[in-house]
Amino acid sequence: MPTALVTGASAGLGACFARALAAEGSDVVLVARDTARLLTTKVALEERFGIQAEVLSADLGTDAGGAAVAARLASADAPIDTLINNAGIGLYQQFLEAPLADEERMLDLNVRAVLRLSHAAAEAMLARGGGLIVNVSSVAGFLPRGAVATYSASKAWVTMFSEALAVQYAGTDLHVTSICPGFTHTEFHQRADADMSGVPKWMWLEADEVVRDGLADARKGKAISVPNAKYKVLVGASRAIPRPLLRKVMGRGGL
């Protein structure tokens, strides 16, 4: 039975990834901090899809949490075929308004944990012949978003890191994909206490479609997946126009 490990599986996109993989018949390892929510998800997935779900409570912003999940990825007795590095947080404050500790906490989760878990997974997967690593990034990683500078930079790192790994392991059975969603209905903005009232309705995606499109792209071996046609056009345009013009369009303190 294939087994996938999903971080941030207690809510939002992570819960959708876990459900989609379980629906395909994969066992799942559910990682997040909220043990009660993970246990509820475990029971629901096992009952509905007849798979085995394992709960691994860990704070991936800490060394101990990262080490526990890395150790699970390294296990030879219960191997993981697919890693979904999905857990992430945002910080919707101008650079000097946010406490530096909060910026660092975001980098620990959005960057350091992704690095550490990718390292553990790649090593174990290559030793067994292959596997799939999916890193959830963001459209924000393509854009200099003034209001969320560190978040955008953290996601630029995730996208470039994943693309570079895809280049490095091309021709092997280790596949790496970065999924870059646009605004998606989850708990993400609420947790960041962000006022999203200015974002037009048409820009919002549903978590299920992001996961469906992203997993389909990953299975096709795409290094970068931008779910939804509207966002494909937006990202394509942002890459095609001159950078000084893009900076003007984004505007100071823009979304």
On the 0-12 / 13-18 / 19+ scale of CB atoms within 10 A, 203 is middle
109 binds ligand NAP (CB under 6 A): yes
Shortest Å distance, C-beta 134 to ligand NAP: 11
Angle value at C-alpha 102, between 138 and 159, nearest 5 degrees = 20
On the 0-12 / 13-18 / 19+ scale of CB atoms within 10 A, 46 is middle
Name beta bridge partners: 84: 6, 134
Among 27, 61, 80, 147, binds ligand NAP (CB under 6 A): 61
Among 83, 106, 136, 224, binds ligand NAP (CB under 6 A): 136
Among 150, 159, 186, 225, binds ligand NAP (CB under 6 A): 186
Q: Which of 168, 171, 165, 144 is nearest to 155 (CA)?
A: 144
* DSSP per-residue letters across 207-225: HHHHHHHHHHHHHTT-SEE
Provide the 3-class DSSP secondary structure of residue 82.
Answer: strand
8 binds ligand NAP (CB under 6 A): yes
Q: Closer CB to ligand NAP, residue 3 or residue 10?
A: 10
92 an active-site residue?
no
Evaluated on CA atoms 144, 217, 124, 66, the torsion sign reads: positive
156 binds ligand NAP (CB under 6 A): no
Name beta bridge partners: 83: 5, 133
One-letter amino acid for residue 153 of the chain: A
Among 22, 32, 91, 125, binds ligand NAP (CB under 6 A): 32
Among 24, 34, 63, 104, binds ligand NAP (CB under 6 A): 34
Using CA atoms, how far apart are residues 157 and 21, in angstroms rounded to an integer?
26
* Window 163-182: residues binding ligand NAP (CB under 6 A): 181
183 binds ligand NAP (CB under 6 A): yes
CB atoms within 10 A of CB 92: 16
Shortest Å distance, C-beta 226 to ligand NAP: 10
* Window 81-100: residues binding ligand NAP (CB under 6 A): 86-89
Among 4, 5, 6, 13, binds ligand NAP (CB under 6 A): 13
59 binds ligand NAP (CB under 6 A): yes
Q: Decide if 53 contacts 42 (C-beta within 8 A).
A: yes
131 binds ligand NAP (CB under 6 A): no
Shortest Å distance, C-beta 175 to ligand NAP: 19
Q: Decide if 210 contacts 181 (C-beta within 8 A).
A: yes
Q: Closer CB to ligand NAP, residue 34 or residue 63?
A: 34
Q: Which of 92, 151, 169, 231 is catalytic?
A: 151
What does the binding site for ligand NAP look like in residue numbers (CB under 6 A)? 7-14, 32-34, 37, 59-61, 86-89, 109, 136, 138, 181, 183-184, 186-188, 191
- Catalytic sites, residue numbers: 151
